[in-house]
Amino acid sequence: MPIVSDPVIVASGLRKEFGDFVAVDGIDFEVRPGESFGFLGPNGAGKTSTMRMIGCVSQVTSGSLSIFGLDPEHDGREIRSRMGVVPQTDQLDAELTVSENLLIYGRYFDIPRAECRRRTVDLLDFVQLTDRANEQVDPLSGGMKRRLAIARSLINEPDLLLLDEPTTGLDPQARHVLWDRLYRLKQRGVTLVLTTHYMDEAEQLCDRLVVMDQGRIAAEGSPSDLINRYSTREVLELRFAVDENQSEAAKLGGIGERHELLPDRVLIYARNGEDALSEVHRRGVDPVGSLIRRSSLEDVFLRLTGRALID
Amino acid sequence: MSTPTAVRVWENHLLRYRKIWGSHMLGAFVQPVLYLLGMGVGVGALVDRNAGSVVTLDGVSYFAFLAPALLATTAMMSGGQTSLWEVADGFIWSHRYQAMASTPLTPSEIANGLALWHATRIALAVTAVAAVLALFEETRSWGLLLAVPVAVLTGLAFALPISAWSSSRKGGASFPAVIRFILIPMFLFGGAFFPVSQLPAWLQPVAYVTPLWHGIELCRGAVISSVDAGPVGVHIAVLVGYAVAGLVACHISFSRTLRP
């Protein structure tokens, strides 16, 4: 039997304008307790603006937003005291040591020093930075700084954690370490809300996500749900010589369910990629390269917006 | 008992200051001492030889005239400098204030914490100068204890308006101009090295509306018992006016930047 509990975040008709520019154009979503919820979209889609409104550091232009059943306009302080934030730009104190960063941040929440120190030991262990505790932040690698930013966001033992592009700019190994830590947090029951423009990250971390484009929500569902709904099981990617994409693609009519013509390749959406490729060869079309892969959220995004997620 | 919000912000500044206090204190201390020795003792010997000068200087030696003013100028320089790059750093480069703003702290509380920190840092620099003045017989006075808080107020009359301005900048390109065209001219012509009455008549009113002259008059009157500080209430009102207006401007500017 499903446990019925109030959503952590409810937004309806949520809108953010900066002068004439509409950053978030009336979106509706709900985040449930313990869930891992993602905003997927390209740069400029309105993800960060939405996150900042949830974080109570940006005023809602119109529409309604409720977090923990509270109103950000009037109860911002209480909401922020129960929330952790990992910003895109770490925002660490570079001159301070790793543990001083946690201590001083805990003090903003008025957590007593002794308690801050106790939590710091546990948190540095959790993000695997114990051996760096007394080192300056500045020389740490990007992945370590991000882990420290996560540890810092947990100092107030938040019920809700906001992560804005948690792995942007990190190398693959650092990303996997980070995903592992976030997964453990989720298992502890922390509600995660994150933005990303990486589909693999969304697939790894999100129970449910919304695809955002130009300030609007284009689709909502679980990653597999969205792939089933908006894409085929497999994708055949064909590469042709420069400038031949268009002319060659014209010969592929009727193969698979749908085509996407990208500047550097042609995508054929098909239930069975091998069959589609045999058909391509049978028609005498000879691509420079071909690749059969499973559909991803990238394909969902392409279908919904007609554009690639990362240009 | 919860810790006042401004104190929580202040703790961050203190923790970072502990790593640089040596160089800051040395700078805040050495510069006025050099002026005291070079100008007060060196130039003072020449000035005091001219009998007419003593009358112009309210009947005291040049050293006694200059030394208390350095409390106010040190406060101005200390407050001015920490209000430029250091404030901008918190918004533009380190995003320290954005980090604070995502905790329970509000933009106004962050501004109050910064004001508290400015006061602390100015007080440290001014106290060092007061300690030096206590070494010289002419300026050894209980009035130094009164002059320190007056100088801190003078420093805040600069630090808070400048902080409000620098918190809304996109970069530090215009900061050296503040030092060159505002702080240094005031340092030289604000009544520390010679009486404002020696300025051309049209320039004197400028000195009277800027905070430094009021701070200098108060410090001088507090330390040298024979010198009349003039309208003390007006001096204090002007300094408080600048500081309060600056703090209000900080609240507005911090809120705009941190809660768009």
Q: What is the 3-state secondary structure (H, E, C) of chain A?
A: CCCCCCCCEEEEEEEEEECCEEEEEEEEEEECCCCEEEEECCCCCCHHHHHHHHCCCCCCCEEEEEECCECHHHHHHHHHHCEEEECCCCCCCCCCEHHHHHHHHHHHCCCCHHHHHHHHHHHHHHCCCHHHCCCECCCCCHHHHHHHHHHHHCCCCCCEEEEECCCCCCCHHHHHHHHHHHHHHHHCCCEEEEEECCHHHHHHHCCEEEEEECCEEEEEECHHHHHHHHCCCEEEEEECCCCCHHHHHHHHCCCCCEEEECCCCEEEEECCHHHHHHHHHHCCCCCCEEEEEECCHHHHHHHHHCCCCCC
Q: Write the burial class of residue A259 (CB in 10 Å: 0-12 exposed, 13-18 middle, 19+ buried).
A: middle
- From chain B, the residues in CB contact with A85 under 8 A are 102
Using a pLDDT cut of 70, give the percent of chain A over it: 97
- Shared domain for A188 and A276, answered yes or no, is no
Q: Choose among B165, B159, B84: nearest CA to B117.
A: B159
* B51 pLDDT higher than 80: no
Pairwise CB contact (< 8 Å): A87 & B15: no
Name the minimum distance, in Å, from the CA of A110 to any CA of chain B: 6
Among chain A residues, the shortest Cα distance to B94 is held by A91
Among the three residues A212, A227, A242, which one is the final residue of a domain in this structure? A227
Please report which confidence band the pLDDT of residue A310 belongs to, taking 50, 70 and 90 as the band edges.
low
Pairwise CB contact (< 8 Å): A107 & B12: yes
Pairwise CB contact (< 8 Å): B15 & A104: yes
- Shared domain for A215 and A263, answered yes or no, is no
Best mutation site among A104, A148, A193 for testing chain B: the one with the most B CBs within 10 Å?
Answer: A104
Please report which confidence band the pLDDT of residue A243 belongs to, taking 50, 70 and 90 as the band edges.
confident
CA distances, A291 to each of A235, A284, A288, A298, A309 (Å): 8, 17, 11, 16, 19
- Shared domain for A105 and A196, answered yes or no, is yes
Arithmetic mean of pLDDT, B182-194: 92
Q: Which domain holds residue B72?
A: 5-258
- From chain B, the residues in CB contact with A93 under 8 A are 12, 16, 94, 96
Range of weakest confidence among A178-182, A298-302, B146-150, B220-224? A298-302
- The predicted structure's pLDDT at residue A309: 59
- Shared domain for A139 and A268, answered yes or no, is no
Q: Which domain holds residue A165?
A: 9-227
- The predicted structure's pLDDT at residue B239: 98
- The predicted structure's pLDDT at residue A247: 82
Arithmetic mean of pLDDT, B239-243: 98
Arithmetic mean of pLDDT, B161-170: 95
Name the minimum distance, in Å, from the CA of A94 to any CA of chain B: 7
Pairwise CB contact (< 8 Å): B12 & A18: no
- Shared domain for A80 and A149, answered yes or no, is yes
* A308 pLDDT higher than 70: no
* B178 pLDDT higher than 90: yes
- From chain A, the residues in CB contact with B94 under 8 A are 91-94
- Shared domain for A240 and A164, answered yes or no, is no
How confident is the prediction for chain B on average, in pLDDT?
92
- The predicted structure's pLDDT at residue A3: 55
Say how many domains are in chain A: 2
Pairwise CB contact (< 8 Å): B94 & A85: no
- Shared domain for A222 and A239, answered yes or no, is no
- Shared domain for A149 and A264, answered yes or no, is no
A160-202 pLDDT per residue, tens: 999 999 988 888 888 898 899 999 999 999 999 999 888 888 8
Arithmetic mean of pLDDT, B67-81: 94
Pairwise CB contact (< 8 Å): A77 & B99: no
Say how many domains are in chain B: 1
Pairwise CB contact (< 8 Å): B100 & A94: no
Name the minimum distance, in Å, from the CA of A14 to any CA of chain B: 16
How confident is the prediction for chain A on average, in pLDDT?
91
Indicate whether A108 belongs to any domain.
Answer: yes
Pairwise CB contact (< 8 Å): B11 & A80: no
Indicate whether A304 belongs to any domain.
Answer: no
- The predicted structure's pLDDT at residue A1: 47
Q: Which residues of B touch A (CB under 8 A)?
A: 2-3, 8-9, 11-12, 15-16, 19, 94-96, 98-106, 258-260
A29-57 pLDDT per residue, tens: 999 999 999 999 888 899 999 999 999 99
CA distances, A311 to each of A184, A189, B73, B157, B182 (Å): 32, 35, 56, 51, 48
Range of weakest confidence among A3-17, A114-128, B123-137, B240-254? A3-17
- The predicted structure's pLDDT at residue B20: 87
B8, B94, B104 ranked by CB distance to A81: nearest? B104
Give the CATH number of the domain where residue A263 resides.
3.30.70
Range of weakest confidence among A173-182, A300-309, B87-96? A300-309
Give the CATH number of the domain where residue A132 resides.
3.40.50.300
